[in-house]
Homo-oligomer: A and B are copies of this chain.
């Protein structure tokens, strides 16, 4: 089997990120004999201005047949691309690791946690309307079905990690919706892992107080959005955080950061988040195929990135270096074995 990958380079720094990353992908494909076919498609602000749609029909046609999507950052139209794709293809598990990297100045060290964010429901359903002039309503939806499958994802990760899951909710206030999510967490996780519950406000504070107390955090869509940005900044920088949107049929890999228009075209964007997302993509291929070579490619890429941070002389300005995107890419490329 060959994995079909639809690639959305995206807006702002997205174009240069993908252009420069190609050689790394090519080296890994060759070295590990990976069966991957990449097809570039357009989506985002540029597509919107060109075709009047952020997610044009011809792009959806390709995505429809693809196994996975590799997505760069998208600008103002991000919602219409990313949230739409997540829901359209039921990519229900948003996996967001927050992990310290060597030589990245940070107030925190040894952060290594994983946020498992439900990715299809909550207020992200987009059910909103004006009930009357000046009175806006949105509907938050929490189902047992979606809660159960995301909690099972968290369980699986925890069993491969430090076996601790923190279920984050606000069931003291949202007794029915968050109460449902919390009760599913208890049912699935209690007795199987080191299980704790935490209100979302306390979780936001505890991430600041001591992020190393967390292993896996499982939570609903809105809280996951907020806490994952907070956690990735605590681990070093939002600019370094990768993510995976996993569904049973399709999945999408994307950096957490945005299009960064202010530095676009300057060749100084940090490729870490994008490349770590590619590493997560290879790992998903391993899960689906059970073929070790994908896992080895995933690890090789991740390790090469970590080595470049350890060495520390080819880092981009955002992490205190003075290398260009191209220099950092070359250094990572050379570390791949």
Binding site for B on A (CB under 8 A): 76, 78-79, 83, 107-108, 123-124, 126, 128-130, 133-145, 170, 172-177, 179-180, 200-202, 204-209, 222-223, 225-230, 232-234, 237-238
- Bound together, the chains give a CA A170 to CA B229 distance in angstroms of 13
Q: Is the pair B176, A128 in contact by a Cβ cutoff of 8 Å?
A: yes
Q: Which of B204, B207, B228, B233 contacts A209 (CB 8 A)?
A: B233
Q: Measured between alpha carbons, how far is A219 from B148 in the docked complex, in Å? A: 31
A200-B225, A201-B229 known; 10 new pairs, CB 8 Å cut-off, are A129-B176, A130-B180, A133-B144, A134-B145, A136-B176, A136-B180, A170-B222, A205-B229, A206-B233, A208-B230
Min CB gap A309→B, angstroms: 19
Q: Are A136 and B201 in contact (CB under 8 A)?
A: no
A133 to B176, CA, bound (A): 12
Known A-B contacts A173-B123, A209-B233; A141 and B135 likewise in contact (beta carbons under 8 Å): yes
A128 to B141, CA, bound (A): 10
For residue A142, which residue of chain B has the nearest CB? B136
User: Closest CB-CB distance, A189 to chain B, in whole Å?
Assistant: 18
Q: Binding site of A, secondary structure by majority: helix, strand, loop or mixed? A: helix
Q: Are A79 and B173 in contact (CB under 8 A)?
A: yes
Q: How far is it, in angstroms, between the C-alpha of A229 and the C-alpha of B230 when the chains are bound?
A: 13
CB nearest to A145 among chain B residues: B134
Copy total for this chain: 2
Q: Which residues of B contact A175 (CB under 8 A)?
A: 128
Contact among B143, B204, B229 with A229 in the assembled complex (CB-CB below 8 Å) = B204
Contact indicator A138/B107 (Cβ below 8 Å): no
List of B residues within 8 angstroms of A173 by Cβ:
79, 83, 123-124, 126
CA distance A78 to B170 in the complex (A): 12
Minimum Cβ distance to chain B for residue A115 (Å): 12
CA distance A6 to B232 in the complex (A): 43
**In the assembly, what is the distance between CA of A173 and CA of B123, in Å?**
8
Q: When the two chains form their complex, are residues B238 and A205 in contact, meaning their CB atoms are under 8 A apart?
A: yes
Say yes or no: B179 contacts A136, CB within 8 Å: yes
Give Cα distance in the complex from A145 to B136, angstroms. Answer: 11
A179 / chain B contacts, CB cutoff of 8 Å = 136
Q: Are A138 and B177 in contact (CB under 8 A)?
A: yes
Contact assessment for B180 and A201 in the assembled complex, using a CB-CB cutoff below 8 Å: no
- B residues in contact with A144, CB < 8 Å: 133-135
Residues A201 and B176 in contact, CB atoms below 8 Å apart: no
A176 to B130, CA, bound (A): 7
B residues less than 8 Å from A170 (CB atoms): 222, 225
Contacts of A126 in B (CB 8 A): 173
C-alpha spacing A218/B326, complex, angstroms: 41
The answer to whether B107 touches A123 (Cβ under 8 A) is no
Q: A128, B177: Cβ atoms under 8 Å?
A: yes
Our pick among B108, B129, B139 for the contact of A107 (Cβ within 8 Å) is: B108
- Is there an interface contact between B208 and A228, defined as CB atoms closer than 8 Å? no
Closest Cβ of chain B: how far from A84's Cβ, in Å? 11
Which residue of B135, B177, B227 contacts A137 across the interface (Cβ within 8 Å)? B177
The answer, among B124, B134, B201, for a CB contact under 8 Å with A143, is: B134
